[in-house]
Every structure is written in structure tokens, then in C-alpha cells.
Amino acid sequence: MKRVLIAGGAGFIGSHLCERFLDEGYEVFCVDNLYTGTRENIIHLEANPHFHFIEESILNPLDMRCEIILNFACPASPPHYQKDPIYTARTSFEGTFHLLELARKNNARFLMASTSEVYGDPEVHPQSESYRGNVNPIGIRSCYDEGKRIAETLTMDYRRFYGLDTKIIRIFNTYGPRMLENDGRVVSNFIVQAIQGKPLTIYGDGSQTRSFCYVSDLVEGIYRMTMKENFSGPVNLGNPEEYTMKELAHLVLELTGSRSSLEFLPLPEDDPKKRRPDITLAKKELNWSPQVPVREGLKATIEYFQKKLKAGASQRQP
């Protein structure tokens, strides 16, 4: 069996990827230090003899045989990556370095999960892969944005210098089951607040935009990119359906039937004003485009959080 190492495999996106690669007949090695990943995300896979969980940080060098390495290990929501920004930057640089070294040793294919954050607060809209971005190198988002940029650089230099078979994807805002309830991201915040009847917290005036991709669509794109021959990217993966945060709040209220109010809070520093992927390249090279409309994906995510919050509440009963 071919072995795939998924760093960050116990996280939101990583755990869905572990499932997909098991379904495709791979032996999956999930490496995660559970910084933001959880055992709960992968517990259902642990009985599978082809699934192996290794609780380890990518800040430590790893040694094993594998044919494919996917690097999804990094805290990704602003509150989580800003909690210990030096750790975040080290994870992207040193962690990626260790995985690239392992790929080199194994002559493995290496896929780097990068982000739309490499475009910063974009001056070009929508963002295509040729846009070089508008990133503040010294701001509170830099640990993540610049971390991912240097991870892209390292990946490309391993390709040029050692001839390693590398790939880069740039992931735009993604949502779905297994997002953390306390992730601090807009989709999880709004849904949890709506279910609990608390005010929906809109940062700024809510006119900033994001484009939201459902996790199953993203996983399909990642799988196709991993398998694709002679295409190293970078390639944008995201859903071009664009919403203001105010529109999203109203949509969540409608879909949950919640009567929560809206609460306007200060806009965080360096918060990008708009974001929408140009996915022309993904369509052309991977024959990929998102299939799940935002309303449908939100409904499934709302159901997930309703169940999760109910289970949490019954566990807290004496």
C-alpha cells in the first residue's frame, strides 16, 4: 500500500483528508500535536488498521517511509495563530523544513497547504495566482501570512534545488463539520451564537467580504491536485461566491431561525477588506470547481453544531 503522511491530520481539514485517502486505499499516517487538532476528529478512524495516529509536532524531525506528504499542520484561525505568533511562524518555517527534508529522503511527493492570506489585504480582485499580494510584514497577521509565504518559498526552492516533486495549494475560507466551536472564525462564531441566542458579533461595519468553500469541495480539489501529474501550482482552491459579513450574518439567522441580534465590534488590525478566489487555473488544470452552494453547506454545518452543542450541554448536566 502507498503511504501518505498527513501533517495536521487531526485538524478540521486534515481529518477529512485522512478519510479521503483511506477511502482511496492509502495507508494514512496522521501526524498532529493536537495544538488545534483534536482526537475527537479522528477517533472514528482509529480502529481502521490502515490508519495510524502519531502525536508529534512537526517542529521535531520525523523519520519514516512514505510516498506522499501533505502539510496541513499550522493553527489557522486568527485567534489561534495569534495566541503564540512565534510558534506559528516556526511551525510554518521549521515544520515545513522538516517535512521537506523527509520528502527528500523518501523522494516523496510533497503538497504544501498554503493560504489566500499570502495575498494579504488584496488590491486586485478577485485574486489569481499571479498576484503577489499586499501583506504587512510586521502586523499581527504576519506570523501566519509571512509564515505561509516562506513555506511556499522553501517548497519552491526544494523543487528547484533538489528536483523534489512539490505542489502548492492556496486555500480560501473553508467551513464545515469539525470546525472548532471556539475557532473564532466568522462561520463558527455566527452559527454558535445564533444557536445559543447570543448576539452575532460583526467586526467593523460588516461590509468586508469573504468567499466560503464547503469542506467536501475543498477535499476534492486537494485530492485532484495531489494526484495530478506535471502541475506544481500554486493553485487557488476556494468558492468564488462572495458575501459581506453582514449578508452572512443574515443568512445564518435565516437558516437557524434564530432571533439573535447583531452586535458591531471593532475591526481587527489588518483585516482584509475583500477576498474572492479566481479559480480559472483550478478549473483548467484540475477540472475542479465547488459543487456545494453556500446555503446547503451552511445547513449541514448548522446541523453539526446543533448536535455538538446539545451533546456538550447534556455532558455538563450533573
Residues near ligand UDP, by CB under 6 A: 77-78, 173, 185-186, 189, 201-203, 208, 210, 245, 268, 271
Cell for 203?
467586526
Minimum Å distance from CB 77 to ligand UDP? 6
CB of 107 to ligand UDP, least distance (A): 35
Q: Which is nearer to ligand UDP, 157 or 263 (CB)?
A: 263
| Per-residue burial over 32-43, b = 16 or more CB atoms within 10 Å of its CB, e = otherwise | bbebbbeeebbe
Taking the complex as a whole, the smallest distance from the CB of residue 208 to ligand UDP amounts, in Å, to 4
Q: How far is the CB of 127 from ligand UDP (least distance, A)?
A: 12
What single letter denotes the amino acid at residue 60?
N
Q: In this complex, which beta carbon is closest to ligand UDP, that of residue 109 or of residue 185?
A: 185
The secondary structure of the chain as a DSSP string is --EEEEETTTSHHHHHHHHHHHHTT-EEEEEE--SS--GGGTGGGTTSTTEEEEE--TTS------SEEEE--S--SHHHHHHSHHHHHHIIIIIHHHHHHHHHHHT-EEEEEEEGGGGBS-SSSSB-TT---B--TTSTTHHHHHHHHHHHHHHHHHHHHH---EEEEEE--EE-TT--TT---HHHHHHHHHHHTPPEEEETTS--EEE-EEHHHHHHHHHHHHH-SS----EEES---EEEHHHHHHHHHHHHT----EEEEPPPTT--S---B--HHHHHHH-----S-HHHHHHHHHHHHHHHHHHHHHHH--
Is the CB of 22 or the CB of 267 nearer to ligand UDP?
A: 267
Nearer to ligand UDP among residue 268 and residue 293 (C-beta): 268
Compute the distance between CA of residue 301 and CA of residue 309 in angstroms, rounded to an integer: 12
Shortest distance in whole angstroms from residue 144 CB to ligand UDP: 8
Annotated catalytic residue, options 26, 119, 144, 243: 144
Q: How far is the CB of 183 from ligand UDP (least distance, A)?
A: 8
Is-catalytic flag, 144? yes
Nearer CB in complex with ligand UDP: 3/275: 275
Nearer to ligand UDP, 30 or 202 (CB): 202
What residues act catalytically? 144
